[in-house]
Structure 1
Amino acid sequence: MASVSSPSARLRELDITLPGVAAPAGSYVPARRTGTLVFTAGQVPFVDGKLAGSGKVGAAVTAEDANALARICAINALAAVDALVGIDNVVGVVKVVGFVASAPGFNGQPGVINGASDVLKEIFGDAGAHARSAVGVSELPLDAPVEVEIIVEVSAP
């Protein structure tokens, strides 16, 4: 995919609305800027203030459902970026870190986190290409199946 129009225009084209930023559940902020980078806190798949799914991937949650939940996590992370600096100031996505609450024997974490990676590529085109980690864990906060954090590069202040 070639470069796209502004991120906000692309969100409209994709019929994606950035949600409000979830209030932190601890002693942290949803996103923090340093220089031209913005780091987000880990985002779980909240929709309208409620967890969109719970349980372990490979047991109560299918890999396909978890992929869709990872997409929600990435959109929530973009909402945190937007609230801090404005989505149209994003130059590109640098890195995605995804955590997958995995049932014993489940090793499809990369496919799950593709949900986050794919939506970022849809929104930012070539600027959405990023480095990534997809990590299987035994538990996530609130029994969330997936958590995603992103690092984006933004325009100089």
Structure 2
Amino acid sequence: MGDREIDQQLVERAQHGDKHAFELLVAKYQRKLGRLLSRFIRNPTEVEDVVQEAFIKAYRALPSFRGESAFYTWLYRIGINTAKNYLVSERRRPPTTTEFDSEEAEGFEDAEQLRNINTPENELMSKQVAETVNKAMDSLPEEL
């Protein structure tokens, strides 16, 4: 049985309330996701926080995971979006979506599926980023 099949079984168990199954997914991908996000967030403590937040978001969104892509592909996208939100909240310039997707996704399994993926999670994240940016812009004085 391959990794994708094992992940799918763990996801299905987690979707049915098996917390240990999700813990196994966290153990499997925590370091990998951390290495990915450390390319964009330099402080190791901040990377750990963003990775943890990404797993929390993944856990909450797990009921909506349909299995159309590999679990890591889905988690990768959540991790990238969480990192983008973090960078915006810290008033740092996040890399553009094309920098994340085109350059970084090439080395990952199912990279083609990462491009132009429109999931409810991505749409929500985009709206949240836009709201954060708009609020920040509204709070700026008219003359700088």
TM-score > 0.5, shorter chain as reference = no
Q: Normalized against structure 2, the TM-score is what?
A: 0.31
Greater length-normalized contact order (CA 8 Å, ≥ 6 residues apart): 1
Structure ranking higher in strand proportion:
1
Structure ranking higher in helix proportion:
2
Q: Normalized against structure 1, the TM-score is what?
A: 0.29
Q: Which has the larger radius of gyration?
A: 2
